[in-house]
Homo-oligomer: A and B are copies of this chain.
Amino acid sequence: MKSKLNIGLIGAGRIGKVHGETIAFRVPEANLLAVTDPNTDAATAIAKRCGIPQVCASTDEIFANKDIDAVLICSSTNTHADLAVQAAEAGKHIFCEKPIDHTLEKIDRAIAAVNKAKVKMQIGFNRRFDSNFARVRQSILSGEIGTPHLLHIISRDPGPPPISYVKVSGGMFLDMTIHDFDMARFLIGEEVTEIYAAADVRIDPEIGKAGDVDTAIILLRYANGVIGTIDNCRQAPYGYDQRVEVLGSKGAIATENMYPNRAVVSTAESVRRDLPLNFFMERYLDSFEREVRDFVNAVVNDTETPVTAADGRVPVVMALAAKKSYLEGRPVKLSEIA
């Protein structure tokens, strides 16, 4: 391994830009050598902003570049698995945005390629790196709250995505809840064995017409007896709502939302604060930085990545179980899926 990790950036959209800037400005242990995107203008803009020397016409150029050690796959979801296979075959370490794919077949193929090539893979479940959720995980690991019994995850978006996105996203469970499924595993450090999903269309009938739901509570049962819920809604009028709480044998821990400031205004009407940070680019900005830095460090130091390829598979199984539970109106064991 060279002293600096050389990286190729695949995808110049919103999240590609975030990761590119992190590498360029915050991670001295890594260099960006090349970027590619079907939208050449977007790729060129990032290259200029981040000082990336080469804009490639295709991912093949990235994979063929011997100087590149690792790739960040930030392209559209349906390309993740194939690109991961190609990257692995080219001997590149992989940071891949979530989810790897919507089908277990393609996910398994990607994982097999990664394992065969003995490259490292990290999945972009950035919320694990948020200071709040990391604090909750730490409280469980350290024994501060004892053995966990009950878990709640609240995860609500400020507003629904465009219907065009809903139609291709794989559905709310695969596109939105996927983060919460990962969080459920991360916080408790144990596998879920059964899922019961109660869901409905409450926000926009068009979402229903597109075959999806927009509001759900998902009940989780863990191998170790923990019981948990995930609360999802495509629309919280007050903004992005991201909280968790865990009850354990010695205590409980709960996280509050993040706000743009800590000011409280008291008038003749109410005692109030401003709305929470509006969406994931503000709320989770720090976590995006930490996850990429940790990926670079894992490759440079040859340690396990903090979110492995296997960690990318299970949440998809959970999402498929949730969907099956919703459609059949009964608890579904994960063993029924895969």
Contacts and interface: CB of A to CB of B under 8 A. Distances in A.
Interface of A: 25-26, 28, 49, 131-132, 134-136, 139, 144-147, 149-150, 152, 156, 196, 198-200, 202-203, 215-217, 219, 221, 225, 227-229, 231, 233, 235-238, 241, 247, 249-276, 329-331
Contact of A144 (B200, B229, B265): B265
Contacts of A255: 261-264
Interface class of chain A by DSSP: mixed
Contacts of A216: 227
Given A146-B237, A150-B217, A254-B263, 10 more contacts: A132-B263, A135-B274, A139-B265, A200-B225, A217-B219, A217-B228, A233-B247, A253-B264, A270-B273, A330-B331
B145 A265 contact: yes
| Residue from the set A203, A217, A255 with the largest chain B CB neighbour count within 10 Å | A217
B198 A237 contact: no
A146 B233 CA distance: 15
B227 A215 contact: yes
A233 B267 contact: no
Contacts of A272: 270-273
Nearest to A228: B217
A207 to B, nearest CB: 13
Contact of A28 (B49, B152, B273): B49
Contacts of A253: 263-266
B263 A135 contact: yes
| Residue from the set A241, A266, A272 with the largest chain B CB neighbour count within 10 Å | A266
A262 B263 CA distance: 15
A200 B217 contact: no
B264 A251 contact: no
A166 to B, nearest CB: 18
21 contacts: A28-B49, A132-B262, A136-B263, A139-B263, A145-B265, A149-B233, A150-B231, A198-B227, A200-B225, A200-B227, A235-B249, A236-B247, A238-B252, A238-B266, A238-B268, A251-B268, A255-B261, A270-B275, A272-B272, A329-B331, A331-B331
